[in-house]
Structure 1
Amino acid sequence: MDSSGHHESQGPVASQDGGNGRTSVMQPYLFPYLGYFQLFRATDVFVALDDAAFIKKGWVNRNRILLQGEPYTFTVPIQKQSQHVSIHASLIAPDDGWRNKLVVTLTHAYRKAPHFETVMPLIQRVLQGDPATMDRMALDSIHAVLEYVGMQPNIKCSSAMDIDPALSGQDRILAICGSLGTKTYVNPKGGRELYDPTRFQQQGIDLRFIHMGEVTYIQGGGKPFQPALSIIDVLMWNSKEDVLGFMDDFTLEP
């Protein structure tokens, strides 16, 4: 990290003390926004909280793109299910044409973008793949983007970890960090009110919040910039090098 607090290396932060230096934990989202990917630049280990409850109208199976100059929400349909079903047990709905419809929508939205020919095949491979559950498609989308920009992250799934299923919220995060030997836990700034720094200090963990810089870029169409869209929008309008630069535009704060 430089004097301004920005992370400079082109890969995960390396631990210097034999433990897992930095950890972040998030639900797996479908082609998430830029700030989500900054967590991979800021940490050694990313834990996908795939055993969390699936939240209807959350970001696990949907996101926003720019369509005709305005934000447009696209969705991967989920089979009908009861409440409190976990993300990794949430089944993707049978293909009644929704995959092709989504590809057509994305093509219409970005066919004039400078990196469409390179990025669209990546998106199609994810959307037209055949995972049974939503966690797999979301993770496929994350892996595809990271591979595209040349990153090899260390991603673990919470469902594969030996964590007490009765734990939730902060207690669950602390248990995950404890099992990994985490020295620093990094969370998006929006979750500041969810955590008590003293609890983390008692476990020998430094709690940090990631703040994304003021990232803007030309989106086409001449309209005002629309922030916090899916990473799809960032990839379509920017080179790999610029995308990596955006991913590194953050600070870590107490």
Structure 2
Amino acid sequence: MKKNLTERGGSVKVAIMQPYFFPYIGYWQLINAVDVFVIYDDVQFIKGGWINRNYILLNGTKTRINLPLIKASSNKNISEIEISNERIRYKKLLKTIEQAYSKTPYFRAVYPLLEQVILYDEKNLAKYLRFLLEVISKFLDMETNFIYSSDIAQEQELKGQERVLNICNTLNASMYINAIGGKDLYSAKFFNDYNIKLNFLKSEEIPYNQMSNSFVPWLSIIDVLMNNSIYEVKKQIMRCLLV
């Protein structure tokens, strides 16, 4: 997908984020905004977060879906966690998605994609989610490169923005883009001192027809894909601002 969030030729834009399970539209806006998307896999797993769960619309009701994990713990890094090998649970998840979206306009085009991802034979959580991100990015014609943070040589004792800066320097980044929710975590001056521009991506609520009485925002990308053409999804992905 052609990006409109570009700078001068030769610049390298980087984002760093934990991998999420079928994340919402803003996550894909961030992926599309950068040249390199670093999957933050060597940080602690967050229980109750978005790493292994999200929401879809089932019979007009916001409904949670989960990726089953084995002994998930916040004492482990994301890269150390395994997903369940009980295939019946994945088939049940697919059945729930089918029940929720079989009557949507793009079900036939999108459901095989979800089957490919959900039934992917991979035990490692980080690798499974990377596959998910890459498959859907390719479906949407995104050209972003993915890399694990654990594959980047860095000073492991660094934390917070110091570690982010270290990753950016290793990748020769000219710009670091973060979701707007992290605005209070980073200092523009801190990054500018190392000739890296700091920007934040701001998403907006984008209503679309969900075959429901009222619009429910910020659901999984599954809901977006089922109810919109690829062309419409691409337009939604471009509707964001850098601040």
TM range (shorter): over 0.9
Match of 1:246 in 2: 236
List aligned pairs for 1:1-254, cutoff 5 A: 10-11=2-3, 16=8, 18-20=10-12, 22-95=13-86, 97-221=88-212, 223-253=213-243
CA distance in 1, matches of 2:145, 2:195: 22
CA drift at 1:141: 1.5
CA distance in 1, matches of 2:171, 2:4: 16
What's the TM-score, normalizing by structure 1? 0.91
Question: How many aligned positions are there?
Answer: 243
CA contact (8 A) 1:12 1:40 kept: no
What's the TM-score, normalizing by structure 2? 0.95
Residue by residue over 1:170-206, the C-alpha shift from the partner in whole angstroms, topping out at 9 and shown as x without a partner, is 1111111111111111111111111122211111111
- Unmatched 5+ stretches in structure 1: 1-8
CA distance in 1, matches of 2:34, 2:72: 34
CA drift at 1:211: 1.0
CA RMSD of aligned residues (A): 1.6
Distance 1:72 1:243, change over 3 A: same
Deviation >6 Å, runs of 4+: none
Sequence identity percentage: 36
